[in-house]
Amino acid sequence: MVKEIGLAAIGECMLELSAAQNDTWRMGIAGDTLNTLWALRALLPGARCDYVTAFGDDHFSERQKAFLAENGIGYASSPVIPGARPGLYAITLDGVERSFTYWRSDSAARQLASDPAALEKSLSNLRLAYVSGITLAILDEPARRILIDALGKARNAGTLVAFDPNYRARLWASRDYAQQEINAALAVSDIVLPTFPDESELYGDASPEATMQRIASAGVAEIVVKNGTEDALVLFDGIAGTSPASRAEGAIDTTGAGDAFNGGYLAARLNGMDGVAAAHRAHSTAAAVVCVRGALAPFDLLRTAYGCGTEPSAA
């Protein structure tokens, strides 16, 4: 079991509205990189977990900080921005598939790099730092440069940097610009966790194998290409393998499934598993999340799902 190590995820902690009964809504707290850190917190209970973001000074920002603290997650040296407030999203379900409506244009998290020294302090002395393409997309270009430089410095000091490109077209000015900025993040990443449909939309990749080859050609040694209910492709220790997706009995909401997969994978890798075995555990973790409403599953459910798998041999 991993103990006494530092883990951090960087991004936007949002208010989440999910439908309840009789046209009422339940408010939670979530966000793509927070969802991954949540899984890491569940699966590596001995690790120190911090969410690196920026908060407003309003009531809802205080609720966010209290929620993190209640669940054993710190927020390092994340700044408080006077007058700012959190972003908000609502989940709409069509069967088990989800779509989102966002209110985030003035989110406090857009200023997470407003204090470069504080950001570097938040990313110091870590075993793992995790970031996504959504984090990159909500920042303006100077802030994005500050973040990527801070990740590069942390990596040079021995921190593993994990990155999910998580492309969302509506957050970027153009495909070309998104490619440029995501490529800059690939250059400071040790582990990359893309989703094939996103990569096909952004880069025109014809297959998951093409996605893996393109990212590997950028110098990334460890890659897992997720593909929904299809096999994941894994590049680990110079060898390509596959990991079949787990069937989710009783699925009701796919929100956060890919984020939970990332958390399960990274937890397994930090616990010493190889890439294919880690992807197998990650599929089990993702299958648990789709059986609950919203992005965050109870810690006990995640731990049970993660621990029930067996390690398959590499393909």
Q: Please list the active-site residues.
A: 259
> What strands lie across the sheet with 232-236, from one edge to the other?
73-74, 46-52, 3-10, 128-132, 160-164, 191-192, 222-225, 232-236, 239-243
Whole-angstrom Cα distance, residue 286 to residue 255? Answer: 10
Whole-angstrom Cα distance, residue 102 to residue 119? Answer: 26
User: H or E stretch including 151?
Assistant: helix 141-156
Q: Do the Cβ atoms of 12 and 259 come closer than 8 Å? A: no
3-state secondary structure 45-111: CEEEEEEECCECCCHHHHHHHHHHHHCCEECCCCCECCCCECCEEEEEEECCEEEEEEECCCEHHHH
List CB contacts of 36: < 8 A, sequence separation 6 or more: 9, 130, 132, 164, 259, 260, 262, 263, 266
